[in-house]
Amino acid sequence: MSKKLALSDEILLTVDKPARYIGNELNMVKKDPESVEIRFCMCFPDVYEIGMSHLGMQILYDMFNKRDDVYCERVFSPWPDLHEIMKEKNIPLFALESQEPIKNFDFLGITIQYEMCYTNILQILDLAQIPFFAKDRNWDVPLVIGGGPCTYNPEPLADFFDLFYIGEGETQYDNLFALYKDCRKKGISRADFLHEASKIPGIYVPSLYEVTYKEDGTIKEMKPVYEDVPAKVEKQVVTNLTDATYPEKPIVPFIKATQDRVVLEIQRGCIRGCRFCQAGMIYRPNREKDIDVLKKHAYEMLKNTGHEEISLSSLSSSDYSHLEELVSFLIDNFKDKGVNISLPSLRIDAFSLDVMSKVQDIRKSSLTFAPEAGSQRLRNVINKGLTEDVILEGAGMAFEGGWQKVKLYFMLGLPTETAEDMRAIAELANKIAVRYYEIPKDQRNGKCQITISTSFFVPKPFTPFQWARMYDRDSYLGRAKVVNDAVKEQLNKKSIKYNWHEADVTVLEGIFARGDRKVGQALLKAYENGCIFDAWTEFFDNEKWIKTFQEIGMDTDFYTMRERPLTEIFPWDFINAGVTKDFLIRQWNTAQEEKVTPNCRMQCSGCGAMNYKGGVCFEDKN
Amino acid sequence: MKIRIKFAKSGVMKFIGHLDMMRYFQKAMRRADIDIKYSEGFSPHQIMSFAAPLGVGITSDGEYLDIEVNSTKTTEASIKNLNLAMVDGVEVLEYRQLPTDAKNAMSIVAAADYKIYIKEGYDNPYSIPEWQEKLNHFFYDRSEVLVTKKTKKSEKVMDLKQLVYDFQILEEANRPVFYLKVCTGSTDNLKPELVLLAFYEFLSLSYEEFAFQIHRVDVYAKKEGEGFVPLGDLGNDILTEIPAHQDK
């Protein structure tokens, strides 16, 4: 019969979606836990369906399990219904594969993808029965290691993690595992192991750094407590993406995950350099994967999963050099087998419209533009090269090809934004509608539908906007109102729909994105006050957060409302993320001058990422 | 051509619901390289239908799904390929060709067999002979056994004498096992737990929802003159590969 589950039938038949907790999915790796030297539990601190959609986790799961001496398993945030039961019955959090408590593992690796999952990290530690604070842990519990984009400012989480891995996971885990095995064999203390680990490139051990503050609350100095601990932690980069390991047999969940398809990573990084975009900076340099390897992966992964859809993953697919060839290959080889091809992040032009007409139902599908700012002035500030002419031309072509739905994405609260920029959002939408109605009535299909969505801008570390101020909730909502009022004034207002995001979450996100170590206490207090699943509107409770900040007497405006002087030491300055501070300052200044910087293929801007000796920086130079 | 597939569902797979099992088999068909037919249109879907949805928590040795294929390998090869594409807890048992005029499984389901076990950790109040005697009092000695089936919208009174075709107490590992053959299908669907609940209420025993493991044994169609036949018996094994029709 089958193995024993960690949860009883009674519990599994009571909670929503028991499939989240039983494992056993297709391509799940099965090993005898007794046969390995390292047990690693990989955690995505959100619900199963979200976590299982994450590519990075599948890559590392596959990579770790290719080693005979490691068994990598998975865990996700138990949904609040199960959370209650586990707390009440004192059931320790378990890994899906072996169903065994993760507190007995060697490593708990947590991927940190967005700020609003921070309380879920504390939930994981709490349910796993692992002490919250790294300083309270000994060899009886796993080493808690964090990775992912949020670790480019790990400081709000510094107290809760033994180590962080800064950068791409493919490069240094073998060294970390070798050190771990060696240290455990020799009976070395946890503190000494961490000390040694801090010397591995990319590994950051927060307990080995001391932070002092000035009277105004900003950082005076951050330095290692030992001389042999590096003052700067080097971001890790896979130089050759083509040869990098890739999961050809990804796990296929039983319940529908958000990403219920084969994901083909065609490149990492982006040549564009939008000034608000953290991914565009921290994943530099842009590196493409060889097309023949991609074709092989596509074939293998579809065969090994049975998925009915394949999607290309990258920050800007249109910039992939062999996109046409790749897309044609996918259509020619898989379309007839009932495999759908999904192409996110495509620039709208003749090629993409032709492809889309082959893979989608034009009547049902919509075109997506992300101008991010309404006016050309502000688009220059953020370095979004998209011009109004390009948008209108793309939309015009699409309308003539039979499309009638357009989605537009913008941000509000960008640096230098004025009311004029906000109104320009509505005006741009109107111009697109006008373009649609230029088509003779007998050649078009009724009304067009233009949907505007705005989110509020949150400045992120290692971007040219890392010095920028944010605004308060009322100011954000006021900006949305300006757009909403402007939409109502447009001639084609009946063809335009406007959605905007909540503002409370934006403010919190801003606190954590650029927070320092002092913010950690707020996180723990908030968790104790019941904050959990903050990324979910149905669970997010702003009142609890306000209460938390009041209880600990934290002035959150310090983190959000200040424009930082160029001289300020940031909590994340100890990381070398590839892009230099000089470059970011230059970009911050160029932004104020409303000037566009050419993309990496047109002209090198000297960001610093050339040091990694690969990718776009060396294209056509071999 | 039409194919009927029989499979068993056991272990942790009992927690996977009907809709997710459908998604699971759609992907499994591709992995096993079954030449399944797709519907026309922009989002083509596989032509596939299940006989009788199985509730979450129930295991089974007799689940059926019908598919249409363009071409097919032999029964033996197809079962082998499908089982290579399965996870632990799902096993393909049959792969049979149906006559061209065969109705789909869902429309002909008439009955299903169940075994109901008292789970470990829950009380078994009686010995096997006592159970048998009580079963006679509850079911066989009465001319009608009325129960009320509650749904979200309505209540319906049903006579178990009409809808329960067989009810026995079996013995496995010194424990009683309730064996039921009940009316199944779209019109008069009877869930086995409803029968057991009525039995427990009749005996003034407290019925605990999680005390029983229900296991479906097989699903049947009614055949003129032959009574109930397992759905799989309506098809024939494929002994030689059948290529796709050229003329479509």
Reported ipTM: the value is 0.94
CB B105 within 8 A of CB B231: yes
Q: Which of A1, A5, A13 sits opposite B57 (nearest CB)?
A: A13
Q: Can you tell me the distance from the alpha carbon of A319 to that of A346, in angstroms, rounded to the nearest whole number?
A: 9
Of all residues in chain B, the one with the smallest CA distance to A15 is B15
Of all residues in chain B, the one with the smallest CA distance to A254 is B20
- Domains assigned to chain A: 9-234 (no CATH), 261-359+581-622 (3.30.750.210)
Instruction: Flag whether pLDDT at B248 surpasses 70.
Output: no
Q: Which of A28, A255, A308 sits opposite B26 (nearest CB)?
A: A308
Summarize pLDDT for A118-156 with one digit per residue, the tens: 999 999 999 999 999 999 999 999 999 999 999 999 999
Residues of A in contact with B213 (CB under 8 A): 9
| pLDDT, position A2 | 47
B27, A340: Cβ pair inside 8 Å? no
Q: Is B18 on the interface with A (CB under 8 A)?
A: no
Instruction: Show the tokens assigned to B139.
Output: 């079911």
Summarize pLDDT for A571-611 with one digit per residue, the tens: 999 999 999 999 999 999 999 999 999 999 999 999 999 99
CB A407 within 8 A of CB A367: yes
Helix (H) / strand (E) element for A300: namely helix A291-305
Can you tell me which residue has the tokens 């010095």?
A: A467
Instruction: Flag whether pLDDT at A283 surpasses 80.
Output: yes
Of all residues in chain B, the one with the smallest CA distance to A21 is B15
| pLDDT, position A444 | 87
Q: Can you tell me the distance from the alpha carbon of A236 to that of A242, in angstroms, rounded to the nearest whole number?
A: 16
| pLDDT, position B226 | 87
Q: Is B87 on the interface with A (CB under 8 A)?
A: yes
Question: What value does the CA radius of gyration of chain A take, rounded to a whole number of Å?
Answer: 25
Instruction: Flag whether pLDDT at A181 surpasses 60.
Output: yes
Q: Is A87 on the interface with B (CB under 8 A)?
A: no
B27, A252: Cβ pair inside 8 Å? yes
A254, B10: Cβ pair inside 8 Å? no
Closest chain B C-alpha to A3 CA, distance in angstroms: 8
Average pLDDT, chain A: 95
Residues of B in contact with A342 (CB under 8 A): none
B30, A337: Cβ pair inside 8 Å? yes
For range B21-27, the mean pLDDT: 97
B20, A255: Cβ pair inside 8 Å? yes
Q: Is B173 on the interface with A (CB under 8 A)?
A: no
A25, B29: Cβ pair inside 8 Å? no
CB A375 within 8 A of CB A420: yes
Summarize pLDDT for B166-207 with one digit per residue, the tens: 999 999 988 999 999 999 987 788 999 999 999 999 999 999
B20, A254: Cβ pair inside 8 Å? yes
Which of the residues A2, A29, A48, A248 would you substitute to probe the B interface, choosing the one with the greatest number of B C-beta atoms within 10 Å? A2
Q: Is A305 on the interface with B (CB under 8 A)?
A: yes
Of all residues in chain B, the one with the smallest CA distance to A11 is B210
Q: Is A5 on the interface with B (CB under 8 A)?
A: yes
Closest chain B C-alpha to A358 CA, distance in angstroms: 9
Q: Which of A1, A9, A19 sits opposite B20 (nearest CB)?
A: A19
Which of the residues A8, A48, A255, A365 would you substitute to probe the B interface, choosing the one with the greatest number of B C-beta atoms within 10 Å? A255
| pLDDT, position A619 | 85
Mark which residues 337-396 of A lie under 8 Å from B by CB: 337-338, 340, 360-361, 364
Of all residues in chain B, the one with the smallest CA distance to A301 is B31
Instruction: Flag whether pLDDT at A3 surpasses 80.
Output: no
Closest chain A C-alpha to B32 CA, distance in angstroms: 8
Q: Which of B15, B87, B119 sits opposite A18 (nearest CB)?
A: B15
Which of the residues A3, A8, A9, A358 would you substitute to probe the B interface, choosing the one with the greatest number of B C-beta atoms within 10 Å? A9
Q: Is B119 on the interface with A (CB under 8 A)?
A: yes
The residues with which A267 forms a beta bridge, in sequence order, are A288
| pLDDT, position A621 | 62
A9, B12: Cβ pair inside 8 Å? no
A9, B57: Cβ pair inside 8 Å? yes
A5, B12: Cβ pair inside 8 Å? yes
A9, B31: Cβ pair inside 8 Å? no
The closest alpha carbon to A237, from A610, A618, A621, belongs to: A610
DSSP string, A340-372: EEE--S---SHHHHHHHHHHS-TTT--EEEEEE
Q: Which of B12, B27, B87 sits opposite A305 (nearest CB)?
A: B27
A254, B16: Cβ pair inside 8 Å? yes
Summarize pLDDT for B113-167 with one digit per residue, the tens: 999 999 988 989 999 999 999 999 999 999 999 998 877 788 888 999 999 999 9
Residues of A in contact with B70 (CB under 8 A): none
DSSP string, B12-53: GGGGS-HHHHHHHHHHHHHHTT--B-B-SSSS--B-EEESS-
Number of residues assigned to chain B: 248
Q: Can you tell me the distance from the alpha carbon of A600 to that of A620, in angstroms, rounded to the nearest whole number?
A: 13
Of all residues in chain A, the one with the smallest CA distance to B39 is A338
Instruction: Show the tokens assigned to B32.
Output: 């096993």
Q: Which of A22, A26, A361 sits opposite B12 (nearest CB)?
A: A22
Residues of B in contact with A361 (CB under 8 A): 42-43
Instruction: Flag whether pLDDT at A1 surpasses 50.
Output: no
B46, A338: Cβ pair inside 8 Å? yes
Q: Which of A10, A303, A306 sits opposite B28 (nearest CB)?
A: A306
Q: Which of A12, A24, A254 sits opposite B88 (nearest CB)?
A: A24
Q: Can you tell me the distance from the alpha carbon of A464 to that of A460, in angstroms, rounded to the nearest whole number?
A: 9
Q: Is A4 on the interface with B (CB under 8 A)?
A: no
Closest chain A C-alpha to B127 CA, distance in angstroms: 26
Can you tell me which residue has the tokens 């959090």?
A: A93
Summarize pLDDT for A354-389 with one digit per residue, the tens: 888 888 777 778 889 999 999 999 999 999 988 999
Closest chain B C-alpha to A498 CA, distance in angstroms: 29
CB A405 within 8 A of CB A442: no
Other CB atoms within a 10 A radius of the CB of residue A286 amount to 28
CB B152 within 8 A of CB B165: no
CB B4 within 8 A of CB B96: yes
- Domains assigned to chain B: 2-106+232-237 (3.30.70.580), 123-207 (no CATH)
A24, B210: Cβ pair inside 8 Å? no
Parallel, antiparallel or unpaired: strands A309-313 and A340-342: parallel
Closest chain A C-alpha to B174 CA, distance in angstroms: 19
Closest chain B C-alpha to A11 CA, distance in angstroms: 10
For range B73-84, the mean pLDDT: 98
Phi, psi of B19 (to 5 degrees): -65, -40
For range A436-452, the mean pLDDT: 92
Q: Can you tell me the distance from the alpha carbon of A150 to that of A135, in angstroms, rounded to the nearest whole number?
A: 22
B42, A361: Cβ pair inside 8 Å? yes
